[in-house]
Amino acid sequence: MASALQIDRLLVIGVGLIGGSVALALKAAGVVREIVGAGRSVENLEKAVQLGVVDRFTQNFAEEVSTSTVILISTPVLSTDAIIRKIADEDYHNALITDAGSVKGGIVESAERYLSADYRGFVAAHPIAGREHSGVTAASADLYQGKRTIVTPSRQSGPRAIEFVKQFWCATGARVSEMDAATHDELVSASSHLPHLVAFGLVNYIANHARGKECFDLAAAGFYDFTRIASSDPTMWRDISLANAAAVTRELRGYIANLESIAEKISNGEGDSLKEVMDIAKVSRDFYLDRWMK
Amino acid sequence: MASALQIDRLLVIGVGLIGGSVALALKAAGVVREIVGAGRSVENLEKAVQLGVVDRFTQNFAEEVSTSTVILISTPVLSTDAIIRKIADEDYHNALITDAGSVKGGIVESAERYLSADYRGFVAAHPIAGREHSGVTAASADLYQGKRTIVTPSRQSGPRAIEFVKQFWCATGARVSEMDAATHDELVSASSHLPHLVAFGLVNYIANHARGKECFDLAAAGFYDFTRIASSDPTMWRDISLANAAAVTRELRGYIANLESIAEKISNGEGDSLKEVMDIAKVSRDFYLDRWMK
């Protein structure tokens, strides 16, 4: 069925790493006739045309809504509410709307707030992939190849829209599955948002350390791998953290308690119990890495 | 001068990733006539001979002390005290002693406690490299190539011994510099020990999470890169944490305070101040990564 996917016009609102990579992947798959990029920065949009990521661009996406087959919202998550409100002022009923945000609860609420109750074309999604470089110049057709994408159907997602949006994400090369928005947000707060905050926090801590410069000079390859995700886009991650604030702070506090217990064990010289923490970590990671690599 | 280095017999106490990689590097450099491996596990030592890491082995290193040119202690750091005490019972005066531990204060104290006050052949060292796989099968001749090694001279380090031990580590391919043991232990507690504990703690936290299995299933490539160091050897890292307990717990607590402030900002919706934390992290990492790559 995926081969049947045909999109006449795709409107990509926010042409950065995420939206740009979706555009490139769908072009490579040959499933879209025209891609229109929308955003605020003319410079970035011109770059997107130059790079062949989009066919043309607009700074006023509203005027493209009524003639688009699919609208992809791929901006930092705190800006999606205003975008959906603006879409709602246009004739959007012939378009399918999806997004690529890392938090799903907020955008589902925005859709229910602004889009009509009988609209069945909204299917939120989260492609789980990224890299530490941001912007359209970092976009690539294979960013989602083999990676997971979660679609989170809601009341405004009709069966045909769900099927179409799944095919849309399949065409980027992703492995697509379904989950409700609340479950999604709870799980990614631990599996993705927490690690990013832990990494941002660690590098920030060293940067503010009295001997930070010497510490960075001594850091080995492990440190740079470990902190790769701390080079992710700060605006994107600020938005994700605030959009998923309740779950993220709960996970942060759970993790802080875990670190405190490690500090206690070290401070009390409880070697066996400290080693057990490390054993559980190593065994779990090796086990899941093994599965994940398959 | 490095080319002048000639070692008649190298005794490697602890033939795992670290000691095995030193042995392979020195063999490749052609600077050692014979390498004797010492350890507890016959199976591991036989494997080391099979792999060409050592020429022969002993389970009783004491009988090799008097005829060794250089003794390298490369065991988990909490076992080094007993090893130095045992070396001190033998005729070690013609041998140079160095080590490869990640904490230097303890071994310098052990040397001062057990080796004679007029001995000038002890020069502690820390080759800053590792990988998540452990054991002699993970050893490789290029583990230290281009990496930093810190030597931490102490009262029992004579000028000739310092020069010789520097050449020894240079011959592994490392870039060698000097630091006092206390400064070393303080800096690595932040640049290396803290990140390892943060990673072990994070994976342990997810493993113990009510929805841990689902979280691991959702984790992306970033998570596995981020937690690579949580697959390091638990015994080695338990020992390092306990041997550097004061500095490590101080850094852990400093970092916990940093995470708590991040949780506060998220909880209070302080977006600007949260983004500033992330900006500082990103800018610092990108700056130092750039320098480090050169």
In this predicted structure, the answer to whether residue A68 has a pLDDT above a threshold of 50 is yes
- The answer to whether the CB atoms of A280 and B222 lie below 8 A apart is no
User: For chain A, what is the mean pLDDT?
Assistant: 95
> Measured between CA atoms, how close is B24 to chain A, in angstroms?
21
ipTM summary value: 0.90
Could you tell me which chain B residue has the CA closest to the CA of A269? B242
Residue A293's pLDDT is 67
Q: What is the pLDDT of residues A106-121, one digit of tens each?
A: 999 999 999 999 999 9
Q: Which band of pLDDT confidence, cut at 50, 70 and 90, is reported for residue B273? A: very high
Identify the residue whose tokens are 């014979």. B34
Enumerate the residues of chain A whose CB falls inside 8 A of the CB of residue B232: 282
If we measure between CA atoms, which residue out of A72, A16, A30, A27 comes closest to residue A52? A27
Enumerate the residues of chain A whose CB falls inside 8 A of the CB of residue B21: none
Instruction: Please list the residue range(s) of chain B that carry CATH number 3.40.50.720.
Output: 2-179
Residue B73's pLDDT is 98
Q: What is the pLDDT of residues A256-292, one digit of tens each?
A: 999 999 999 999 999 999 999 999 999 999 998 877 6
Enumerate the residues of chain B whose CB falls inside 8 A of the CB of residue A282: 200, 203, 230-232, 234
Query: What integer is the mean pLDDT of B17-42?
Result: 97
CB A253 within 8 A of CB B267: no
- Kindly list the strands in the beta sheet with B32-38, ordered across the sheet, starting from the edge strand earlier in the chain: B56-58, B32-38, B7-13, B70-73, B96-99
Q: What is the pLDDT of residues B169-191, one digit of tens each?
A: 999 999 999 999 999 999 999 99
> Measured between CA atoms, how close is B76 to chain A, in angstroms?
13
Q: What is the pLDDT of residues B69-127, one digit of tens each?
A: 999 999 999 999 999 999 999 999 999 999 999 999 999 999 999 999 999 999 999 99
Instruction: Please list the residue range(s) of chain B that carry CATH number 1.10.3660.10.
Output: 184-293
Residue B129's pLDDT is 85
Q: Which band of pLDDT confidence, cut at 50, 70 and 90, is reported for residue B220? A: confident
DSSP A122: B
> Measured between CA atoms, how close is A282 to chain B, in angstroms?
4
In this predicted structure, the answer to whether residue A1 has a pLDDT above a threshold of 70 is no
> Measured between CA atoms, how close is B120 to chain A, in angstroms?
27
> Measured between CA atoms, how close is B212 to chain A, in angstroms?
9
- The answer to whether the CB atoms of B190 and A197 lie below 8 A apart is no
Q: What is the pLDDT of residues B276-291, one digit of tens each?
A: 999 999 999 999 887 7
Query: What integer is the mean pLDDT of B234-251?
Result: 96
In sequence order, the 6+-apart residues with CB closer than 8 A to the CB of B152 are B104, B108, B123, B124, B125, B126, B178, B179, B180, B181, B184
Q: Which band of pLDDT confidence, cut at 50, 70 and 90, is reported for residue B294? A: low
In this predicted structure, the answer to whether residue B53 has a pLDDT above a threshold of 80 is yes
Residue A120's pLDDT is 98
Enumerate the residues of chain B whose CB falls inside 8 A of the CB of residue A193: none
Q: Which band of pLDDT confidence, cut at 50, 70 and 90, is reported for residue A220? A: confident
Under 8 Å CB pairs connecting chains A and B tally to 289
**Which of A129-143, A193-207, B36-50 shows the lowest per-residue confidence on average (mean pLDDT)?**
A129-143
Residue A290's pLDDT is 74
- The answer to whether the CB atoms of A263 and B254 lie below 8 A apart is no
Enumerate the residues of chain B whose CB falls inside 8 A of the CB of residue A209: 190, 254
- Whole-model pTM: value is 0.90
Q: Which band of pLDDT confidence, cut at 50, 70 and 90, is reported for residue A223? A: confident
- The answer to whether the CB atoms of B201 and A267 lie below 8 A apart is no
Question: Which is it for strands B124-127 and B148-152: parallel, antiparallel or unpaired?
Answer: antiparallel
Closest partner residue to B278 (CB to CB) among A147, A190, A234 is A234
CB B290 within 8 A of CB A246: no
The CATH superfamily label for domain A2-179 reads NAD(P)-binding Rossmann-like Domain (3.40.50.720)
Closest partner residue to B280 (CB to CB) among A207, A238, A245 is A207
Enumerate the residues of chain B whose CB falls inside 8 A of the CB of residue A266: 241-242, 245, 248-249, 252
Enumerate the residues of chain B whose CB falls inside 8 A of the CB of residue A288: 216-217, 219
In this predicted structure, the answer to whether residue B3 has a pLDDT above a threshold of 80 is no
Q: Candidates 3.40.1710.10, 3.40.50.620, 1.10.3660.10, 3.40.50.10320; correct CATH number of A184-293? A: 1.10.3660.10
Query: What integer is the mean pLDDT of A210-216?
Result: 93
In this predicted structure, the answer to whether residue B61 has a pLDDT above a threshold of 90 is yes
Residue B31's pLDDT is 97
User: For chain B, what is the mean pLDDT?
Assistant: 95
Could you tell me which chain B residue has the CA closest to the CA of A131? B222
In this predicted structure, the answer to whether residue A248 has a pLDDT above a threshold of 80 is yes
Phi, psi of B117 (to 5 degrees): -60, -30
